[in-house]
Structure 1
């Protein structure tokens, strides 16, 4: 029983002690983590992304239709931010370009573009997926503003993006308590800000999860509040209007210091539970979702300290496993889904300063 994963980690003094990007296999029954490849010279790769859209024109080669191996990208979360493309097998660096801002922390994709969220500068940049990268991104967008948490919201902090169809995307701006909606420009032009949603002051939106609601184009968006330690639900109707629905769900009741990170949904079609990693309390918050009646089902120990990221993967028998990167505890924890939707701990394995879990397949 093995799970094939890519792991990102902090590498720089003051950030972490990790090796960069690794391709590993994990046997949670035997409690073994085997490293198959490690990147060289990649600094603070705190977020990874796979794209199966197209191969690149790298090193003078020609463009090809995307194969099953896909492409692998990583941010370098530094003041002078970078994005690198890595060989998915050997993890050799194939290309590197400016992220268009400082301290990039997230990668997404929409309409043939790789989207880079720059936390430090509060901007989002677009890179092409169908041709070689230039010296700079195609465009960079951002908005001005701040929030009431003075030590975290002194200015905009773009923390993540999420595609809304093929021609638009949303940005979670932790510094402005705002989700912004952009429409892609024509011919790789700068996207237009076309709408979005204001969140309660001090929310600090970090990561997002989309849930389609019907054939009419209505969608629900789950928003992780890093600063208020709550999960919010918003709805976008076909006319483009946004509204919060229901009440926020507290993810760490009674905890004075709790900073939620990543959110994921169980891959099973019949499972309604959401799981959110919560740093500080070092727990997984399991939320039952309904039509405006969300509630915290349970919090469970995450198997390490500071769960920065989590993702569902499958082992080589096709069984789902929840993998959690506990950054400061230097652990990768593996959970199996319980009969009631609550993850059950299976293994906790040592790995230095993990920041990101990405299934290979």
Structure 2
């Protein structure tokens, strides 16, 4: 049985009775995209010879690739009215498992390891990330513990387990082939391979969310879990799958990070969970569930990235960067609440 779902195509009066221009202007993603375009225009004017360059674009794309993969998974979770604070720690744990596996298989000399060892390392990262997703999903969907509490606990547990795997230090022995090919390699006229992987995963995520039954069920559960249950949707099983997907993507992100940095870089990922949540919310995904798009999340990932890159280029101090990103996040949530109130008053 199908269930009516409030997505961005049905919010604000029903798009079916409106012109294309009205639908475009009424879409939350349109206004978020305008913010991103405005930021790019401002920094291009302020630093035309530095910001608007191919090198800056490539760097920006590479730096956001890992976060984008995390944020795609976070989009599914937040649409179900959930939250996952553990994705950053799961990324670290998955990267650590991958690094230690490749180190063990190569007899301590992972730098010279071949693609067979790298493939097993990828499997270790994906499996370990998926296991943490399974733990989160079971405790949230089956044990009925609030997502905030569950993922706050697994955030600390996964990070602690990652430290235990290598005595509290980073794994720095990574196959050279992995670093050169995926981390810094390019294809298709200079497009970084890391970016290609992120784009493919994002497109698959968009297809899954917007064109499949899995996506429709995700919106339905976020709009009203009880209504979805009465419509015949297995809410418990679906939530379990959503958190499994998020853990799976965190595992892939851990592998990508290891390839790029040639190290597990634990301290560099301790705030990735908050960054993924912020990017998803900035992209128009509602914290109250039932609303969100992958395209919006992509834009949401790039807004703080462009802000930070632009501020660095024009030499604005770091603390102003944090203030600006925080202000944009609060504005996004405020806009979402206004939209919800307007919709509910009709």
Indicate the TM-score class for this superposition, using the shorter chain for normalisation: under 0.3
**TM-score of the two chains, using structure 1 as the length reference:** 0.24
Structure 1 or 2: larger helix share?
A: 2
Which protein, 1 or 2, shows the higher relative CO under an 8 Å CA cutoff with sep ≥ 6?
2
Structure 1 or 2: larger strand share?
A: 1
